[in-house]
Structure 1
Amino acid sequence: MCPFHVKKSKKVAAAYVAAVLCMASFGVFAATEHWNDASLTPQVTTRTTVSENTDWQQWKDNWDAIKTNYEQVSIAPGADASQLNFGWYSKEKADRAQVRIADNQAMKHAVTFDGSCQDGTVISGVPYYTNKVTVKDLKPETTYWYQVRLNGKWQEAHQIKTGNPDDFTIMYVGDPQIGASSGQIPSEGTAKQNGDIAARNDSYNWAKTLNYALAQHPEINFLVSPGDQINEPAEDQSAAKIQMQEYQYAGYLSPAALRSLPAATSIGNHDCMTSGYQNHFNVPNPFTEETNSTKAGYGYYYTYGSALFIVINANNYNAADHQALIEKAIKAHPDTKWRIVVMHQDIYGSGKDHSDSDGILLRTQLTPIFDANKIDVVLQGHDHTYARTYQLSSDGKDHATFDQFKVAGQCGQKHNLLDAALKNQEFKNNYVSQNMCYTIADMSQGVLRNPKGVFYMSSNSATGSKFYELIPQQQDYIAARSQTWRPTYSVIRITNNSFTINTYDAETGTPIDSSYSIIKD
């Protein structure tokens, strides 16, 4: 095993290249045995009252109804803070999808917004249609009630509150990956969990994390997920695989908290192989110009106050697509104070399974693109560990792009070509060397004022469905990292001149790291 050492230098030294080669010698790692068993932590609090199935036994008793409720609604931020996007399945195809919204629970003087209802998918032989509606002209810091028209009937009214665009808070979570605990043995039995039982376990823990976080931080306005909402990629497109994928989406969307919490999701490598993701989620400004898009859809962008969020589909290995999306978003919103990229693969992470293999495949190309477009922050997932970097910049040199592994349609899930190549020591040496393509621009901690470089964050699992170990040696670009084997979440507060992130243990609300802030004068 390589000796532990943290090298803190502004330039990447030859000695550090050797150290990373030592890390890379561990190769590509399989699924971990680390996970959280829902049956051992059966108690949950909610945002307001105990109004959903928060008891573990109740959850188990109701799981068959939960997992087959494919028609649950997803809410996403709209193109700006005055809009919300709704998406849902229906069994009936309507001429138009509809959502109505009012400032009172009785829905008096409600305004109705129309959208599209199109063919979606077939689940267990039953066709489902995908509905999408955008609600506009919402006022800041206002309480609303909304209703969705499902199969010809208006559903129950739910409350939702808009935030203050000049001072808002988001919840940033990593890889819910409902169903990833498949194969684990729960305390309640001796047999390994199948996909169904794993989805039940992970969905319960997902609800628990949301409820804990919102109870501890009621100021949260919306959620950001860097991908892998579910575990089943449904690569073979069989009816059984599609059904399992939809069980997992139903579990992901089941928490009552999501009826009032918009979620800006990303396409993860486990989401990207079918149209399920884009059927369920109605993202704003989809980048339909993406030349190598996946079946799940496209990257997209939106604004909220002074922040521009650009969500790239990193399962598409064509960096030119991501550059085009970033440039389009900035051209549409040139004056936003904050430019934040959200992506699944962690090009700067510290987990064993991806941070020195497929996770960094786009590093040599994306780093200079982020620099050129003055990106402030990149929020990542994929590695199921917590890590935050120093402020990083490109080293300004030309590096290999490894285009031979960027096969169109691979969707980031089938990185077997790269895995095989990394078994060759000569290739591995070159791969690692070329990915030393960065400079540490600022090593300050705490509160930074007008720093150079880009800040990268990798989030740990929000559900505990699967955890990875940290690599044995901490990279020199990593300022702090953690693996507690417990779900965590981050709270990000953004004002016109500040970005602050804190990360917490989901159950206790205890910080797992010190606060990090960027101030722009």
Structure 2
Amino acid sequence: MNDKQALDRRDFLGSITKAGILSAVGLAPVAKAAASFVEAPLAGEHKFLCPPYLQNPAPTGMTIMWLSNKQCYSWVEFGETPALGTTANNSKEGLVDAYDRIHRIRLEKLKPNTTYYYQIKSKEITEFQPYKLTYGETISSDTFSFKTPEANPKEVSWLVMNDIHDRPKSIPHLMGLNKDPYDFVFFNGDVFDYQEDEQQIIDHLLIPAGDSFASGKPFIFTRGNHETRGKFRRELGNYFDGNYAFAQTWGPVHFTVLDTGEDKEDTHPVYAGIVNFDQYRIEQAERLKEIVKTPAFKKAKFRVVMMHIPHYYSGDWHGPMECRKHFGPIFEANKIDLFLAGHTHRFGIHQPVPGQHSYPIVIGGGPKDGNRTLIKVHATQKDLKLVMLKDDGSEIGKVELKSKR
């Protein structure tokens, strides 16, 4: 495996059939970042707006992202010990990224299954003229660490949250329920009610995720129907390094993630004629037909699909019925093993039903206290075990599968 097999948002669905690794086993930060990410910057203060967060991992690569309140040139210092020793920035076509506030640095040529320590650094650019660039203050984080995945992992564990709906305290609360090792966190849509501005993304996702886990372990994000709403919806993808829809293999599991879009008709007055989700779902279905033909899908010990809107158990609204029409027959014909969704705010584990779906459908709950859930999944070469926890830590139900391949 190599970094070309990692996810790339700029090539939408382009790497969807490549075999690769979704995520990395991370370590807790060596130390919390010294600065407070909750308090707004003071007048003239140069500050990070969120902790660093990990994205798009591979056995030999990892993307580190963060935000600053001023336009900067940024870089990462990293190494196999806390002494660091190596510097990385991001460049394209001869130009190093600079005069940015959203920082995305890809670490390349890493060793598989290896712990790396890192610091983020941002140097303010106070003047950027054609022939004169003036730097200001440089700010640095404390040291964090992560671990790259194995080149050929034999197992994978991940956590799933969905339907947070702008309740940022739910993220650390649900993460606190888990006591087992895990490799990545998957946000299965509707983290937000709608997309209002950047501050909402910082306050309601990047800070609580960074404080809870994301500086040491990656997260993967796909949209729910609520992330398609609001004036800032088109900018949301800039804050992640990966696609909303993709397919990848990690060890025994082939993951297919789909972006289910809105749940109303494209012609609904609230969309004012500027959405095209029906066509988008058709395009994904066509790509899905190609995915299921790949050796990675066919040979996987377990075939797992994750998307926000379930195609059963979510009523007869337009979105669910479109998903059933376009995706359901492909799932059934190609014998997926497990399906994970959210959207309904009614948690449940639905066992196979002849004539409808031959695989378990697991729907996470949310967003209110008493109805929030954390889904935990662990897969080996022979077994896949899923447990759903309610937000009081009690077990709601489980799924246990044996590999059929």
Same fold (TM over 0.5): yes
**Per-residue deviation at 1:263?**
0.8
SS of the equivalent of 2:169 reads: helix
CA distance in 2, matches of 1:358, 1:348: 12
Residue aligning to 1:459: 364
Residue aligning to 1:498: 383
Residue aligning to 1:255: 211
CA distance in 2, matches of 1:99, 1:327: 40
Q: Is the 8 A contact 1:113 1:133 kept in 2?
A: yes
1:385 partnered with 2:346? yes
SS of the equivalent of 1:150 reads: strand
Greater relative CO (CA pairs within 8 A, separation 6+):
1
Counterpart of 1:333, as a letter, is A
Once the two structures are superposed, residues 403-457 of structure 1 have per-residue CA deviations (whole angstroms, 9 ceiling, x without a partner) of xxxxxxxxxxxxxxxxxxxxxxxxxxxxxxxxxxx2x5xxxxxxxxxxxx33321
Inter-CA distance 93–333: structure 2 relative to 1 (3 Å threshold): farther
- 144, 148, 154: which one aligns with 2:120: 148
Inter-CA distance 324–130: structure 2 relative to 1 (3 Å threshold): farther
Matches within 5 A, 1:288-299: 298-299=244-245
CA distance in 2, matches of 1:520, 1:136: 36
RMSD: 3.6
Residue aligning to 1:333: 296
CA distance in 1, matches of 2:30, 2:109: 32
CA distance in 2, matches of 1:261, 1:329: 27
Q: Is the 8 A contact 1:492 1:499 kept in 2?
A: yes
**Per-residue deviation at 1:282?**
0.8
CA distance in 2, matches of 1:50, 1:176: 28
Once the two structures are superposed, residues 274-298 of structure 1 have per-residue CA deviations (whole angstroms, 9 ceiling, x without a partner) of 1342111111xx4xxxxxxxxxxx4
CA distance in 1, matches of 2:205, 2:88: 27
**Per-residue deviation at 1:206?**
1.7
Residue aligning to 1:280: 239
1:227 partnered with 2:189? yes
Q: Is the 8 A contact 1:70 1:247 kept in 2?
A: no
Q: Is the 8 A contact 1:114 1:133 kept in 2?
A: yes
Consecutive unaligned residues in structure 2, runs of 5 or more: 1-26, 42-46, 124-137, 262-276
CA distance in 2, matches of 1:228, 1:166: 31
- Provide the TM-score with structure 2 as the length reference: 0.69
Inter-CA distance 506–118: structure 2 relative to 1 (3 Å threshold): farther
Q: Which has the higher strand share?
A: 2
SS of the equivalent of 2:65 reads: strand
**Per-residue deviation at 1:367?**
0.5
Consecutive unaligned residues in structure 1, runs of 5 or more: 1-46, 54-60, 120-126, 179-201, 235-240, 287-297, 396-437, 441-452, 468-484
CA distance in 2, matches of 1:100, 1:494: 34
Matches within 5 A, 1:77-476: 77-78=56-57, 80-93=58-71, 98-108=75-85, 110=86, 112=88, 114=90, 129-151=101-123, 153-163=139-149, 165-178=153-166, 202-213=167-178, 216-217=179-180, 219-234=181-196, 243-244=199-200, 246-273=202-229, 274-283=233-242, 286=243, 298-315=244-261, 316-318=277-279, 319-330=281-292, 331=294, 333-334=296-297, 335-349=299-313, 354-358=314-318, 360-361=320-321, 362-391=323-352, 395=355, 438=356, 453-461=358-366, 465-466=367-368
Inter-CA distance 223–366: structure 2 relative to 1 (3 Å threshold): same
Inter-CA distance 73–163: structure 2 relative to 1 (3 Å threshold): same
SS of the equivalent of 1:104 reads: coil
Residue aligning to 2:268: none
Counterpart of 2:104, as a letter, is K
Q: Which has the higher helix share?
A: 1
Once the two structures are superposed, residues 107-149 of structure 1 have per-residue CA deviations (whole angstroms, 9 ceiling, x without a partner) of 14x3636357879xxxxxxx96333333345445432212333
CA distance in 1, matches of 2:97, 2:283: 27
Rg (Cα) greater in structure = 1
Q: Is the 8 A contact 2:37 2:50 kept in 1?
A: no
CA distance in 1, matches of 2:29, 2:176: 10
CA distance in 2, matches of 1:264, 1:159: 18
CA distance in 2, matches of 1:111, 1:145: 12
- Provide the TM-score with structure 1 as the length reference: 0.55
